[in-house]
């Protein structure tokens, strides 16, 4: 569970978008798990890297939640016999089973966030990339997200997230990197805990 922190405009979102080929470097190379992203198609990167941007509504456009998840599975060319098992697993993990046939955009804010996450997780990426996943979440939805990410971690999934929420980082990240002046620096977890004490929750 890697957290990336840094000032506004330091390039955190830009960095995340390079991990799944949404953006490609104008110079230099970006390699993810040994794959040069400039030589990989967005479709092949999407199989390994699940990216969730800041607005969950951008991920929800089908009539039912089930169809959202099927859309991802079709895109990733997952064999159809696997679909129902994958969808069951995802909805259960995110506690969304009762919304399987609901209209996703009618869900509450916290549920929409989980529905958007579901549309990524159903692809079973090896790395989950989240841009400010705690933004706008109340305490309850935040701890819910933390518990989901904890379960995924136990199952071997890596999460890379950008967040300004130092408390969330201190409580849940296993590694923290700070992006500043174009360079990533390792930040000891103890230093993040200190920042929470000094500055409060938000950066």
Ligand X SMILES: Nc1ncnc2c1ncn2[C@@H]1O[C@H](COP(=O)(O)OP(=O)(O)O)[C@@H](O)[C@H]1O
Q: Which residues bind ligand X (CB under 6 A)?
A: 6, 8-14, 182
Query: By CB under 5 A, is residue 13 in contact with Mg ion?
Result: yes
CB of 80 to ligand X, least distance (A): 38
Cβ-contact 59, 68 below 8 angstroms: yes
Which two three-digit tokens encode residue 24? Answer: 């490609």
In the chain the first and final C-alpha atoms are separated, in Å, by: 19
Query: 13 or 201: whose CB is closer to ligand X?
Result: 13
Distance CA 85, CA 63 (A): 21
Closest approach of ligand X to the CB of residue 141, in Å: 22
Which window, 9-17, 88-96, 134-142, 177-185, contacts Mg ion (CB under 5 A)? 9-17
Chain position whose Cβ is nearest to ligand X: 11
CB of 134 to ligand X, least distance (A): 15
Residue 23 CB, shortest distance to ligand X, in Å, is 8
Sequence-ordered list of residues with C-beta below 8 angstroms from that of 120, at least 6 positions apart, any chain: 50, 51, 52, 59, 72, 128
Residue 11 interacting partner from Mg ion, ligand X, none (CB closer than 5 to 8 Å by kind): ligand X
Q: Which residues contact 181 (CB under 8 A, 6 or more apart)?
A: 10
Distance CA 170, CA 203 (A): 12
10 binds, among Mg ion, ligand X, none (CB under 5 to 8 A by kind): ligand X
């Amino acid at each position: 569970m890697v957290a990336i922190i840094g000032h506004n405009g330091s390039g955190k979102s830009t960095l995340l978008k390079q991990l799944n080929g949404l953006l490609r470097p104008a110079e230099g190379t970006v390699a993810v798990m040994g794959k040069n992203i400039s030589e990989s198609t967005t479709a092949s990167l999407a199989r390994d890297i699940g990216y969730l941007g800041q607005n969950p509504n951008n991920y929800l456009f089908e009539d039912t939640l089930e169809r959202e998840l099927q859309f991802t599975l079709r895109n990733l060319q997952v064999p159809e016999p696997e679909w129902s098992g994958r969808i069951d697993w995802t909805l259960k993990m995110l506690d969304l089973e009762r919304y399987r046939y609901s209209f996703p955009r009618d869900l509450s804010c916290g549920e929409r966030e989980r529905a958007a996450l579901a549309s990524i997780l159903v692809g079973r990426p090896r790395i989950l990339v989240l841009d400010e996943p705690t933004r706008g979440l109340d305490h309850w939805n935040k701890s819910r997200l933390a518990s989901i990410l904890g379960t995924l971690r136990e199952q071997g999934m890596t999460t890379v997230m950008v967040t300004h929420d130092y408390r969330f980082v201190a409580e849940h990240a296993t590694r923290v990197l700070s992006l500043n002046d174009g360079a990533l620096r390792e930040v000891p977890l103890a230093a993040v805990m200190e920042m929470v004490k000094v500055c409060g929750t938000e950066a």
